[in-house]
Structure 1
Amino acid sequence: MRIPGGVPTAHLDTFASDRLPPAGLMPRFDYSAPFLSNIPDRLNGAALLIDGAIAEGFAAKTAFYCADAAMSYGELQDKACRIARVLVEDFGLVPGNRVLVRSGNTPMAAACWLGILKAGGVCVNTMALLRARELTYILNKARIDIALADIDLAQELELAKGTGEALKHVCYFTALCSGQGELDQRMDRKSGGFKPVDTAADDVALITFTSGTTGNPKGALHLHRDILAVCRCWPRVYTLEQDEIVTGSPSLAFTYGMAAFLMYPLYYRASAALLPKPTPDAILETVERRKVTSLYTVPTMYHALLERAGGGTLSSLRKCTSAGEHLRQRLWDGWLDKTGIRLVNGLGMTEFLTH
């Protein structure tokens, strides 16, 4: 059976791939399903998600909503290309270098994710709540070369950056690229149109760290082909249409949120309403204001939403999924009674990239 990849790597820095298990210890991958068997041997996950959308004519469509702002697919591609240029031209990134992203769920966090992959880098998303000690561990475990962070989250990264053994550059951005951050300003001096690095399908694209409940967090390595594979798997059951808007609480640093609010909407040319601080009230306001159709969150949040939701607040929802905690029958029944929607319970782990 053919496994996508097996062609020369585009990575000049092979730190990540050198830490994959030897071939004899790798899992047995099954790409025989019709929706997986045609994944190409060379694939750049960012080009697949954003450049593909532009080629199909979605430049003017909204990719992300955030508070009162909106970012189109075309604007997102332009920002990702400019970020890629900053990484390569200003910071000397070579394919395979690791780049840390520290942010809440914002359009610029998504643009950074895409820009890193377009440049051939390996993206390491991190939770906004991490403290300096935890950031230091990740910086050194993944031998991070460059860090891009929301300027509102600078304090802990500033404390940690002196302990990053490989860290050369730290650059801050604003959530909507409003010009106050150094990265915003560097981007403004760049042109768009960055040609994505022609990565192999089995080149490492992401390192996602576990939550560390059993000790130090483990860095799970995900390949470019994994991005396409997960987009073609879970959404075959929990579908996503082009006219849909998704929102919810999981962080983009979790594979749950990364898939729900970045990979799936872009791949299916839908839209996501991003919430940097996803409180119950913020979710309810966003659902009602943006006419959200698909909600991704955790049982604790569903309990809070049930207590607060008014009569028509949730009327735009078509489907809802829960993950991250045990979904109890009482909550499932209560949500069905309130909304008429059956909660879909997702199970999975960081190492699987999606639930």
Structure 2
Amino acid sequence: MLNLSVVLEDSAREHPDHTAVVYGDLRLPYSLVDSMANQVANLLVSRGIGRGDKVALACPNLPYFPFVYFGILKAGAIVVPLNVLLQAREITYHLDDSEAKAFFCFEGTPELPLGERGLEGFEGAAGAEHFFVLPATPLATESPYGESVWAALDGMPGTFETAATSAEDTAVILYTSGTTGQPKGAELSHQNMLLNAMVSDEMFPSHERNVYLATLPLFHSFGQTVVMNTGFRRHATVVLMPRFEPAAALELMTGESVTSFAGVPTMYWAMLTAVRTGQADVPKSLVTAVSGGSALPVEVLKDFSATFGVGILEGYGLSETAPVASFNQPGRPAKAGSIGTPIWGVEMRLVDADWNTVDDIGEIAIRGHNIMKGYYNRPEATAEVMRDGWFRTGDIARRDEDGYYYIVDRAKDMIIRGGFNVYPREIEEVLMTHPAVSLAAVVGVPHDSHGEEIKAYVIRGPQASVSEEELVAWCRENMAAYKYPRIVEFRDALPMTATGKILKRELR
């Protein structure tokens, strides 16, 4: 018997009065979070939902998220977390594709009409039977969109005997962002998710007080494993922030004495900008800063360490790897620009298109306890990326003599200009050393004779003035002739996903 909900249950048993979740003025102890999850489990069982059934959850970082997430797991069912930015049509697709029987959906706000989209998406789905609304007003028993979870939970006991799931049973289906084709559901077992949280927990030094800031979306694998599940396992306090705003995040860090922050590179860049422009002060309590999701520009890493007095530890993983696969691990020297070495129990190698191991630059393949069971109901898609327990990631990397890996780029982001392979990440790194450049994203755009031409989208630093011509000329002096961007476009902002990754497909 193994169930991921043990990360909550053990902490609730050992530290019932310890604060598990902070949201605004709310401070919820572990005992309360656990008994709320028990009520959700009882509700599901009362509606005929149990082991192996899929239950979808669309909710920003609010206390509802852990209540429902762990309640689904306790019932032996499978959590299908959905991105809160999905439109109704996309929600229908995810509900149908995962064969979800029930759907818990946040009511939403004027800026995020999730309840409306959720109900429309639910009504369009063939097999989904139960729609539970998570009201925006605390404890509200009515909602215009359907059955309020508070009304449904009324009278449900706060105790529950967790279903006896096995290590291999699916715990979570995480949908990949679907940059190519329709999103696919990566099936992750209780063992995948639990071991990843345990290894993540043991990699970081524990402090007298452990306070995590959860601004990465919990519906995404990074926030779920590295912040919520790891935080709950070490009896930490998890401070919830539904929407990342750099100055507000820094204020929260100071106000709640946050010790650990996990984010994507654009969050670190935004916090640096907020400090530099005087919108916020540097928090004094921060001890651990972790970056993942996409490659962290070395300039941002250097500036952050100098400004905040905390080094950023960079790691690497994907939804399919639960997610952590490699990390700059405490006790070993951290290398700037590197995603570190494989975590405990995990192997990595570089392969070519035919799965042959290569020494110099190749695609990362991973094997270990963190690899998904496969894509839900997609044997062909699974066979494309998995062989003999190895999973190929689509990321191109190199490895140094100490075994540290460095992401070169996403295989699909590589630009082929006049027959030369050009990796956008390398150009972005160089561009960001220019004093006037704050953030850069490089893409290939169609070109008649070269096949693709290199284009850079640039956000200038505060008060910086550099023209397109000047920047192109500077690039020509600092990069090989086939590499430098011929086209520069200045922007005030770049399109990003809900997790803060730059959306290159919208720039192409």
The answer to whether 1:283 aligns with 2:249 is yes
* Superposition deviation, residue 234 in structure 1: 2.5
The answer to whether 1:174 aligns with 2:135 is yes
1:96 touches 1:121 (CA, 8 Å); kept in 2? yes
Name the residue aligned to 2:85.
129
Name the residue aligned to 2:59.
103
Equivalent residue in structure 2 for 1:231, among 158, 180, 197 = 197
Name the residue aligned to 2:409.
none
Q: Report the Cα distance in structure 2 between the residues aligned to 1:176 and 1:158, rounded to whole angstroms.
A: 18
2:13 touches 2:31 (CA, 8 Å); kept in 1? no
Moved more, 182-191 or 330-339: 182-191
The 5-angstrom pairing of residues 8-47 of structure 1 reads: 42-46=1-5
* Superposition deviation, residue 180 in structure 1: 4.0
* Superposition deviation, residue 295 in structure 1: 0.7
The structure carrying a bigger strand percent of its residues is 2
What TM-score, normalized to structure 2?
A: 0.59
2:12 touches 2:30 (CA, 8 Å); kept in 1? yes
The answer to whether 1:317 aligns with 2:286 is yes
Q: Flag structure 2 segments of 5+ consecutive residues without an equivalent.
A: 109-113, 143-147, 325-508
1:85-134 CA distance string (max 9 Å, x none):
11111x21121110000000111111100000000110000111111121
Q: Report the Cα distance in structure 1 between the residues aligned to 2:49 and 2:290, rounded to whole angstroms.
A: 38
Q: Report the Cα distance in structure 1 between the residues aligned to 2:157 and 2:165, rounded to whole angstroms.
A: 22
The 5-angstrom pairing of residues 264-275 of structure 1 reads: 264-275=230-241
The answer to whether 1:350 aligns with 2:311 is no
* Superposition deviation, residue 176 in structure 1: 8.1
Over 4 Å off, 4+ runs: none
Name the residue aligned to 1:76.
33
The structure carrying a bigger helix percent of its residues is 1
Q: SS at the partner of 2:213?
A: strand
1:322 touches 1:343 (CA, 8 Å); kept in 2? yes
When residues 266 and 142 of structure 1 are mapped into structure 2, their CA distance, relative to the original with a 3 A threshold, is: same
Moved more, 236-245 or 293-302: 236-245
1:270-296 CA distance string (max 9 Å, x none):
111011122212211210110100111
Q: Report the Cα distance in structure 2 between the residues aligned to 1:252 and 1:170, rounded to whole angstroms.
A: 20
The answer to whether 1:143 aligns with 2:99 is yes
Higher relative contact order (CA 8 A, sep 6+): 1
When residues 71 and 175 of structure 1 are mapped into structure 2, their CA distance, relative to the original with a 3 A threshold, is: farther
In our comparison, the structure showing a higher alpha carbon Rg is: 2
Name the residue aligned to 1:86.
43
What TM-score, normalized to structure 1?
A: 0.84
Name the residue aligned to 2:426.
none
Name the residue aligned to 1:164.
125
Q: Report the Cα distance in structure 2 between the residues aligned to 1:306 and 1:109, rounded to whole angstroms.
A: 29
The 5-angstrom pairing of residues 284-303 of structure 1 reads: 284-303=250-269
Name the % identity: 27
Q: Report the Cα distance in structure 2 between the residues aligned to 1:206 and 1:222, rounded to whole angstroms.
A: 5
Name the residue aligned to 1:61.
18
The answer to whether 1:49 aligns with 2:10 is no
1:173 touches 1:180 (CA, 8 Å); kept in 2? no
Name the residue aligned to 1:253.
219
1:157-199 CA distance string (max 9 Å, x none):
1111122111001011136852345101222321211111011
2:72 touches 2:79 (CA, 8 Å); kept in 1? yes
Q: Flag structure 1 segments of 5+ consecutive residues without an equivalent.
A: 1-41
Equivalent residue in structure 2 for 1:337, among 287, 306, 317 = 306
* Superposition deviation, residue 241 in structure 1: 4.2
Q: Report the Cα distance in structure 2 between the residues aligned to 1:175 and 1:63, rounded to whole angstroms.
A: 21
Q: How many matched pairs?
A: 311
2:74 touches 2:163 (CA, 8 Å); kept in 1? yes
1:82 touches 1:187 (CA, 8 Å); kept in 2? yes
| Counterpart AA for 2:17 | A
